[in-house]
Amino acid sequence: MRAAVARRPRWPRVLRWLCFLALLGSFLGAAAIASLFYYYSRDPQLPSVASLRRYEPQAVTRLYDRHGLLIGELSTQRRSVVAYSKIPKLLVQAIVAAEDADFFRHGGLDYMGALRAFFANLRAGRFAQGGSTITQQVVKTFLLSPERTIRRKMQEIILARRLEAELTKEQILHLYLNQIYLGHGRYGVQEASRFYFGRDVDKLGLAEVALLAGLPQSPERLSPFKHPQRAKRRQRYVLKEMFKGGYITESAYKQAVDRPIRVASNSRPYYNVAPEIADVVQSHLAKAFGAESLSRLGLRVQTTIDAKYQVAARQALQWGLRAIDARHGYRSRLSHQPPSKRAAMVKRLARTQGKLVDGGYYRGLVVAVNDGDDSVTVNLGSTRAEVAVDDPRYNPEKHVASKRFAIGDLIAVRVRGGKYVFDPGPQGAMIVIEPKSGDVLAIVGGYEYQRGGFDRALRARRQPGSSFKPFVYAAALQSKRYTPATIVEDAHFVVEGWSPKNFDNDYLGPLRLRVALARSRNTVAGRLIKAVGIEPVKQIAQSLGISSPLSDDLSLSLGSSSVSVLEMAAAYAAIANGGSYHAPNFIARIGDDEVKRPPAHEALPPALAFVLTSMMQSVVREGTAQRARGLGRAIAGKTGTTNDQKDAWFVGFTPQICAAVWVGFDRPRTLGRKETGAHAALPIWVRFMREVLKGTAKLAFPQPAGVVVERIDPDTGLLARPDQPNAIEEVFIDGTQPKQQALRPNDVDPNTILMGPGVP
């Protein structure tokens, strides 16, 4: 009997087959991966990593006032690019420890992590896992779309290897640290450092760099402002990784871990106080560098704006407009109708108002008050409408609708773009200029100006009314036929079919020119332009910077040609500057370069400018602008009011500052009874000046050579007698002073009226 043969175990054969299959699978997997790499690497649309040698990111252009205070920014992304050499070594180590511990050892890829992510994504059929190195994040940010597909992941891996061959590790980190988003709209470590800590990145310590390094994972969720506890936990993790990586000592680690997070208050008291100047700067930079380059400039622009003046100007204008609102009941009820009269009122509205058209103003009866959405429902006769009442200009106390309106109130509304809104009320504008330089210290384009809006200070053209008269008087003085003491008749006259009338319809008879200007007599201005000619007046106005078209008729003397607030401010600033005109300047420096300015030119001889200034001081001392006397300063200026009180002006100056104020509706209509330049515009000017002149020296206008002072008889304008008790002092351009002495009262011919030469 044969012995039984032992059967060989089957498991070695199974093991061999398993090994073979594993090797085959690995080979096929590697071949598949190699094929994918080969396929995607030959993609002609694959971006070139060489382009990253030319790093031109979007960057913030910051705007500063003349004292270096930040007042605005131009940006689509808030980023300030900083050189790699300026980035602290600790921050680089913190970022590497938190985001990519092997960054300085790998060739762009964490192979094990990438392999795990690849198979997970392959199984899922989509992008499900990351595993990206810093190099891959740079590729993803700069060169690829944000889509999550296997194709894009393969491209990312390919480009990461190419980038490592193209750039050094330091260059890759430079791109990463300047480009990365770190929360609150801040991009790059420099911008984030300024935002979170109020310092440049090269001034940060260990605890601070660890906080920054923790943010890339989820900037908003880990924000120390929004979520300080999460931010602290993430900071501790980064510090622990830095310690494990040997970047910091145990002592430094413990000290930083125990230190509470300290972030900047982020207080920027003057940020965005001048959106008007931001628009001006943007326009200038677009012309200088091209509009397509604006987002990448990253410049420091020093403007001529004085932030404190800007704040004072806006506050004064808003205060003045609210005062007009209150005087005329804008956004308040016109009357209240008792229940017995409401039906009849609705019928009357339907009958008298007819079809409602866009841009029209109509009355409506309040039939419902809605506190929930701060609105009222009004019956306009032919329709009903919802009208919002939540505008802070007319409701600064933030009262609910029922605190301001009741059913039965009659209110005025406007149709605008198919919607029914309250009358927007009057608007205004203000420009402040430093006479000696032409620098614009403040610019206010409206009650609440928004970037890109209609800047009334620069773009609106409105009739200046009597504020144009100083140019007429300057032409008269320039002719050497007139002086402040010349007597001219304030009386009704007609010339070439034109008959100027005084605002008060009163006529005062013979007046010295100084008095006529102070009291803003229209007939005297009309007589002067007729005598000296329209062209000399236009030439003086244009020499003083009035570039808007000026009419060729006598009504020019009363300000019938429309001009801008900027033009008027610059013209008066030239008078304040002894007749020397500086073109208005908004920008002092761009980067390290001063902005070139056109040279100043003599618009008026200094002696003439001084005499004219002296006459304009009488407007304040005894004329239409007496409200400004309370400032106790040397002030010269002129009020202006147009027909039906559609425009109200005051333009005035001290030796240091010139400011122009305009008030009116965007679509010209009356501001209301008595809303003259003295009542609507001048108070704004006074309030502004009272604020900005606090603590400054009280200066007088310097008297130049070529000016003489004489004692004159106030009734005749002739030289006063030596013993005359009512004599007054008057200033003259040398050579134009009177030569004849006034007669004694008993010697005067009562039928003689002394007139200026050539005056009708």
Catalytic positions are 99, 466
Query: What values do phi and psi take at 202, rounded to 5?
Result: -75, 0
Q: Are the CB atoms for 131 and 100 separated by under 8 Å?
A: no
DSSP bridge partners of 446? none
Pairwise CA distance, residues 604 & 610, whole Å: 10
Q: Look-up: residue for tokens 């990351």?
A: 130
CA dist 9 → 6, 444, 718 (Å): 9, 97, 141
Q: Is 702 left (phi over 0), alpha (psi -120 to 50) or beta?
A: beta
Dig out the tokens for 329 from the structure.
């009941």
Pairwise CA distance, residues 657 & 450, whole Å: 26
Pairwise CA distance, residues 29 & 653, whole Å: 84
CA dist 536 → 473, 484, 552 (Å): 11, 18, 11
Task: Go through 718-736 and write b for each residue having 16 or more CB atoms within 10 A of its CB, e for each that does not.
Answer: bbbeeebeebeebbbbeeb
Pairwise CA distance, residues 521 & 491, whole Å: 9
Amino acid (1-letter code) at residue 645: Q
Query: What values do phi and psi take at 376, rounded to 5?
Result: -130, 150
Q: Identify the sign of the CA torsion 90, 91, 96, 98.
A: positive
Dig out the tokens for 689 from the structure.
């000046």
CA dist 713 → 10, 476, 737, 743 (Å): 138, 21, 12, 9
Dig out the tokens for 467 from the structure.
């504020």
> Read out DSSP for 42-72?
T-TTPPPGGGGGS-----PEEEE-TTS-EEE
